A and B are shown apart, each in its own frame.
Chain A
Amino acid sequence: MLLKLNLNDPRPLHEQVAGAIRRAIAEGSYPPGSRLPPARDLAGALGINANTVLRALRELRDEGVLEFRRGRGVTVMHQADHRSALLERIRGLLREAERYGYRREDVIKMIGELT
């Protein structure tokens, strides 16, 4: 799993890690059903605390991108590649909207007004 972190990114570390994993899945190198490297390995490679990686993994599970299975480790959910690609772009959209002074609700409203 290829993970890229921007050292100048002001966001909390766990969010950055979640974003990096989301992008790696969106790029398709981890197809649905495949198993992620253990959090310990990811944390060791990134030089960060394993709990930070676990927090990122839990966020992705709550988003429906990952699945935690006993004895099988962390696996990629069905269709998670599409889903995580979309989620990553939506997050980028929200960040951009924020820069222009739009709130989250404004963006949701804009999407609702689209036909």
Chain B
Amino acid sequence: MRGRLLGVVAAWAALVAGVIAALHTGLADRLPGAVAVHWSGSGADRSQSTGAFLAQTLVFWGVMAVVAIPPALSSLVAARRAARRRLLAYVFGAGGFVIAMYAITLLANLDLADWREARLPAIGFGYVIGAAALGVLAGWLAGTPGPDRAPETDAQAGPTIVLRPGERAVWVSRTSNLWLATGGAALAVAAAVFAMAAAEAAAAASVGPVLVIAVVGAFLSTVRVRADEHGLSVGFGPFGWPARRIALDRIERAWTEDRSAMRAGGYGVRGLPGATTVMIRGGRCLVVRLRDGGTFAVSVDDAENGAALLNALAADGARV
């Protein structure tokens, strides 16, 4: 299933690149040496050689496609219908967008002697949006067949395990979001390259906020969660710092629940104090109810075992 998803993404990436290259070779004879690639209110205001425009479009598409590789390799994405649909809708939609952008730009320059005469019809944008929407729809449909892990919840009982006397039990898990990690890293690299290439100091400084977003994204791409006799601890980022700790005597009970990023309100630390969700990826979350009435949830792999251990430890603590 995982291999199939990567195969679809790779085949589509190659197909889009092929269509772009075919448009270039097919229309090359009827294009001026330089084509208009940007329009403002008064008409075409920037040009590029046809070869450079082709190369730039292919690189742009390459970056868009490469971003999809880590999630396409993820077995979690392959197992969940919503995640598959999202991934393929993105890849197919982006492909439709790039092809349409390239096509309307070349068509606007067709049979002209000079790129300055090129006119971009307003309907062109309609075609681009339409092609992207068609791609999104096709991707959504392509992601539909296949398995789907059913959302389950065991909020009532809550799992538990048996702890024997003289036994020490700990639970550790971590979860990473490859989208956030690769997105953050790509953004950081792009911002750094831009800052170095920028001629003016002011332009370089404008990259600052983007860099901050990229670093925050990278920090929220990983959580490491630990449950032991001290309670629950959630560490962020590659160094596990900053960390959120909940002492065992504050925990009433624990269970697991499927939560989506849509319901939690996005990725990151979501919700209000007393009802926090640490949302790294959609899917199975470890949820604890606190004695003060609040809840705390974190999306993490192997959450059942974590909830079971916390319940066992909390029960032990209540007996003592």
Contact = CB atoms under 8 A, between A and B. Distances in A.
A3 B308 CA distance: 12
A4 interface: yes
A37 B173 contact: yes
Contacts of B308: 2
B289 interface: no
A66 interface: no
A101 B222 CA distance: 51
A45 B170 contact: yes
A29 interface: yes
A30 B166 CA distance: 26
Nearest to A4: B169
Nearest to A46: B170
A42 B225 CA distance: 11
Interface string A1-34: 1111111100000000000000010000110011
A1 B173 contact: yes
A19 to B, nearest CB: 13
Contacts of A38: 174
B172 A42 contact: yes
B167 A3 contact: no
Main secondary structure of the interface of A (DSSP, over half): mixed
Contacts, number: 60
Interface residues of A, number: 20
Contact of A29 (B164, B167, B228, B304): B304
Interface in B121-179: 161, 163-164, 166-174
B168 A7 contact: yes
Contact of B305 (A6, A29, A33, A46): A29
B169 A2 contact: yes
A7 B173 CA distance: 22
Interface string B237-255: 0001000000000000000
A41 interface: yes
A7 B167 CA distance: 6
Given A2-B305, A8-B166, A45-B226, A33 B75 contact: yes
Contact of B170 (A3, A7, A34): A3
Interface string A37-58: 1100110111000000000000
B302 interface: yes
B224 A41 contact: yes
Greatest chain A CB density within 10 A among B75, B168, B306 is at B168
Contacts of A6: 164, 166-168
Interface in B280-294: none
Contact of A4 (B167, B173, B224, B226): B167
A66 B34 CA distance: 58
A41 to B, nearest CB: 5
A1 B302 contact: yes
Interface of A: 1-8, 24, 29-30, 33-34, 37-38, 41-42, 44-46
17 contacts: A1-B171, A1-B302, A2-B302, A3-B172, A4-B169, A5-B167, A5-B168, A5-B169, A6-B168, A29-B305, A33-B75, A34-B75, A37-B224, A41-B172, A41-B224, A41-B226, A46-B168
